[in-house]
Chain A
Amino acid sequence: MAGTVFLYDPRPAASESAVQLMQTLDDLAGKVVGFIDNAKPNFNHLVDDLAALLVSKYGVKSVIKRQKPAATEPATDAVLAELVGQCDLVITGSGD
């Protein structure tokens, strides 16, 4: 019968502190929605259709669309600042 041994879990221990999520929106009417287009092929077309739908069906006030130079590059600080300053909701793209 083998004895026992103490071993470590190689992953970080789960955090005890609560994460405060952003408050969800009750509805989209009159809101400004941002899209970060990840520059994958055709995502821009998907965004165009979604933007039209958000305005016509859900009463969104306006949609701001910003494309990253490439999927492998983060959005620039200027784009993030613009979207944070102007949008009630931002959708990041992962289309292809």
Chain B
Amino acid sequence: MSSADNPAVRPAVLFETADDWDAINRLYRKNRWSDGLPIVPPTRERVEAMLRFAGRPRDALVARVAPAFGPATVEGIAINAVMAGCDPEYLPVLIAAVEAVSAPEFNLQAVQATTNPVAVMIILNGPLARTLEVNSTFNCLGEGYWANATLGRALRLVLRNIGGALPGDMDRATQGQPGKYTFCCAENEAENPWEPLHVERGYRADQSTVTVVGVEGTINMNTHTDKGDEVLNMFAQTMIHPPSNEYIFGGEPWLILGPEHAATLARAGYSKADIKATLWELSRMPASILPPKDLERVRNARRPELGEFGAEAMLTISPRPEDICIVVAGGPGTHSTYAPSFGMIRAVTRVVGQ
């Protein structure tokens, strides 16, 4: 759909101002058009250069972004990508990410407006991740890589400027988290002993995809054991995290496995499905841990799934074992990450460039 088909969608506003980097940043800061960091001024020339990589008309409507349901056109996404410092080649990735977060199962309206700290993690798979040098190894969730840093930041700017989620206004996050600045990595497919994430989710290995995940944060899991069952027990003990939304809503917990832990599990004969089934059982949590008011929230949210139950019940972390998600990323070391999801949310994958 383009703006010609939808008269409510209009071209972005272009304005003339002094060519002074400090003054421009003061203006964008004053108008709350930035995320708190200095921006790259979205000049006409920079936006035009970005749009040359769009692969779609500039007025194409990609999605309406909750909670304001602002129209995200290719042009609007490109403007925010410039501000974040993206290379023009990144634009198709960002377009796919905006499409993905706007899918109904991602529940973006809740993600954007909740008091929960949920941030959107972007995971890239396929050949484009390597072409764009999206870091999948050392410090892949940390700083230091242009694509990781600017892609995550650009999506956040879209969520603010087009989705209208400004902290204290429609973004009601009590504390938020650092991942709301940027949160993007690629899967380390070279050291993944199983099928890559996007293949598991139904795509071809030679397709490039973006997967968006709404996570409450990251919890490091460091274990030096070389026994697969011991690794999984450590993971399960970490996943039993009573204050997370997972047990309240029946969620979609994410494990970002370091390559060493992945190799240990593969050597022990575990498939991804085996890991999920084992963790689903080991991470059952006594309902009695939860205060009565939180237990009532579980009953309200999961009654159709669990039926009636008492405090003696052992709650599963997700409705099904296959709801537990696994991605392999990082460099050498005995670390993996548990990323509890927002709970009432499902990750969404989209092919880049379609």
Contacts and interface: CB of A to CB of B under 8 A. Distances in A.
Nearest to B20: A2
A8 B16 contact: no
Contacts of A2: 18-20
A6 B17 CA distance: 6
Contact of B19 (A4, A16, A70): A4
Given A4-B18, A17-B8, A70-B297, A9 B13 contact: yes
B14 interface: yes
B270 interface: no
Contacts of B11: 13
A80 to B, nearest CB: 14
B4 interface: no
A10 B19 contact: no
A12 B109 contact: no
A41 B214 CA distance: 24
Contacts of A71: 110
A81 interface: no
Contacts, number: 113
Interface in B294-353: 297, 300-301, 303-304, 342-344
Contacts of A16: 7-8, 10
A7 B33 contact: no
Given A39-B300, A73-B107, A11 B70 contact: yes
B114 interface: yes
A6 B44 contact: yes
B10 A69 contact: no
A5 B33 CA distance: 18
B120 to A, nearest CB: 15
B43 A73 contact: no
A5 B42 CA distance: 10
Contacts of A4: 16-19
B71 A12 contact: yes
Contacts of A3: 18-19
Contact of A7 (B15, B297, B304): B15
A14 interface: yes
Q: Which of A10, A15, A16 has the most CB of B within 10 A?
A: A10
B79 A8 contact: yes
16 contacts: A4-B16, A4-B17, A4-B19, A5-B16, A10-B80, A12-B70, A12-B76, A14-B10, A41-B293, A69-B304, A72-B116, A72-B245, A72-B343, A73-B249, A73-B301, A74-B109
Interface of A: 2-17, 39, 41, 67, 69-74
